[in-house]
Amino acid sequence: GAGVSQSPSNKVTEKGKDVELRCDPISGHTALYWYRQSLGQGLEFLIYFQGNSAPDKSGLPSDRFSAERTGGSVSTLTIQRTQQEDSAVYLCASSREILGNEQFFGPGTRLTVL
């Protein structure tokens, strides 16, 4: 079975542009998470989806960040009007929704905002 996949693997954009990052979770995993990893902030939680429940958006750093998950599978993280401080590796993870279950991570998307 395939693992978590993310696209693109690298994205370079200009400040002020919008970007979309995609995540395909492991088949059968109902929980999906977005994190970002940057030098100054380490690994930070962004947003979490579980089935049809309202997503936990408590980690989103600003209203420029949003995410959706269509059909309980693929998720897209959108960053509007990108800023240089948005440069980071954006990681997606999925898990079976059993309390405390391990999360499996994708390879990440490296975003560079010039």
With CB under 8 A as the contact rule, which of the stretches 20-28, 61-69, 71-79, 90-98 interacts with other proteins?
90-98
With CB under 8 A as the contact rule, which of the stretches 10-18, 43-51, 60-68, 70-78 interacts with other proteins?
43-51
Of the candidates 29, 31, 33, the one whose C-alpha atom is nearest the C-alpha of residue 46 is 33
From the centroid of its chain, how far is CA 104? 13
- 34, 110, 81, 73: CA torsion to nearest 10: -40
Residues that bind other proteins (CB under 8 A): 31, 33, 35, 42-43, 45, 48, 50, 56, 58-59, 89, 91, 93, 95, 97, 99-108
